[in-house]
């Protein structure tokens, strides 16, 4: 595959942020190519890149401890219906989100304060009232909960990516179903090498998640961490019993603070309850580390711990099967994503802190605007932003 004439703009990464950036840029009338492979059919046999959107449930809500992420959440959630209409794919369910913790040992009260300060719709419950409102909870003694009933619940990241991609194609974007193996910049543009040939572009946005730094051949101050999630298949009776269950954030010390999704239908026709919350951060320092992690299938030890936590929190839970899945996330020192230029022709948009699925549309929009020259200074990459040199890297 060789494209004879350069494309104006290319986005590398067909995940949550990349697909959003392509939609926004294409909708603005720009010529865009969105480059990245489909979801792997079999993790254990896959030799290419991996993404972090391969499931059906991520918590969405407006509240976040940090004002920046609350701003991102509001902006993205306000466009959910627009994205669904443009892409023809529904991906959001307003099931609400419950933030819950021991009122003596956690900062759960700060959730209510932030919601009050910012006008986020929120209901407070504790002890018996909490048990009455959410009867599936195993214990509520000494517990305090804040419930966001609106603009909260869960999204399917897989379906959101599909909606963004279709919407981008409908406004003229070209989707190239190939992994980017390397990029090199010269005076007139950027060459993107794929398995089938090369793509020439005038400017490129790299939104490749945990693969971003290795693709560029430089560190931008972010660390990639392995994550494990556990899925529990429920029978029809349990699905019906938990029909009113919202998404949940359990506040507590690291390793005892799982996030929990209610039963969600998956492509296999079954309903699965999902939770995550790794007790220890496991670094993935190279492309080989990332690929080996995904091929491993995740940590059974973490899944065992998560199983204990779900049984401690959901009253009389009965599940028929457990499934373990690997994932990854990126963390930096500022608490903010990296969205801005590395050179005259190469821009990045990545750094999710485990928070970006719900607000990926706004992060993608900011990435697209940065590619066009409109950059929020606080998000500019910590290293390389002033580097006038060209990018030249080949991913291992």
Domain ranges of the chain: 7-56+157-220+333-394, 97-149, 223-331
pLDDT at 384: 45
pLDDT at 390: 53
The vertex-20 CA angle with 14 and 21, nearest 5°, equals: 90
Nearest to 63 by CA among 23, 98, 21: 98
pLDDT at 387: 42
What would the pLDDT profile of 174-202 be if each residue is shown by its tens digit? 999 999 999 999 888 999 999 999 999 99
Residue stretches of the chain with pLDDT short of 70? 1-5, 383-396
- Superfamily for domain range 7-56+157-220+333-394: FAD/NAD(P)-binding domain (3.50.50.60)
**Interacting residues of 34 by C-beta distance below 8 A, sequence separation 6+:** 10, 11, 14, 18, 19, 22, 165, 168, 173, 174, 175, 176
pLDDT at 395: 43
The pairing of beta strand 247-250 with beta strand 97-102: parallel
Instruction: Provide the β-strand partners of residue 249.
Output: 99, 259
């Amino acid at each position: 595959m060789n494209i004879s004439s350069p494309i104006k703009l290319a986005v590398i990464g067909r995940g949550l942020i990349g697909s959003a950036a392509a939609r926004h840029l294409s909708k603005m009338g720009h010529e865009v190519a969105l480059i990245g492979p489909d979801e792997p059919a079999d993790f254990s046999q896959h030799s290419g890149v991996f993404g972090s959107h391969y499931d059906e449930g991520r918590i969405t809500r407006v509240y976040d401890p940090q004002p920046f992420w609350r701003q991102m959440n509001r902006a993205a959630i306000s466009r959910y219906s627009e994205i669904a209409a443009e892409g023809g794919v529904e991906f959001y369910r307003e099931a609400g989100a419950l933030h819950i913790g021991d009122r003596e040992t956690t900062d759960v009260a700060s959730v209510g304060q932030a919601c009050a300060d910012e006008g986020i719709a929120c209901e407070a419950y504790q002890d018996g009232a909490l048990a009455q409102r959410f009867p599936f909870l195993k214990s509520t003694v000494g517990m305090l909960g804040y419930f966001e009933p609106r603009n909260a619940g869960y999204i399917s990241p897989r379906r959101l990516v599909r909606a963004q991609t279709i919407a981008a194609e409908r406004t003229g974007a070209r989707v190239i179903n190939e992994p980017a193996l390397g990029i090199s910049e010269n005076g007139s543009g950027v060459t993107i090498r794929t398995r089938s040939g090369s793509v020439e572009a005038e400017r490129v946005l790299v939104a490749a998640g945990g693969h971003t730094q290795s693709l560029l051949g430089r560190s931008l101050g972010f660390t990639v961490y392995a994550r494990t999630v556990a899925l529990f298949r429920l029978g029809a009776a349990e699905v019906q019993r938990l029909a009113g269950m919202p998404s949940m954030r359990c506040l507590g010390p690291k390793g005892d603070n799982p996030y929990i999704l209610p039963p969600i239908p998956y492509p296999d026709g079954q309903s699965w309850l999902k939770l995550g919350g790794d007790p220890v951060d496991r670094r993935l320092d190279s492309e080989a580390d990332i690929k080996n992690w995904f091929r491993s299938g995740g940590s059974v030890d973490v899944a065992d711990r998560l199983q204990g936590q779900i049984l401690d929190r959901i009253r009389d839970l009965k599940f028929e099967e457990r499934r373990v899945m690997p994932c990854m996330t990126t963390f930096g020192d500022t608490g903010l994503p990296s969205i801005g230029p590395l050179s005259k022709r190469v821009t990045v948009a990545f750094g999710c802190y485990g928070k970006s699925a719900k607000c990926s549309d706004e992060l993608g929009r900011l990435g697209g605007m940065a590619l066009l020259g409109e950059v929020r200074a606080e998000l500019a990459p910590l290293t390389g932003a002033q580097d006038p040199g060209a990018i030249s890297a080949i991913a291992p």
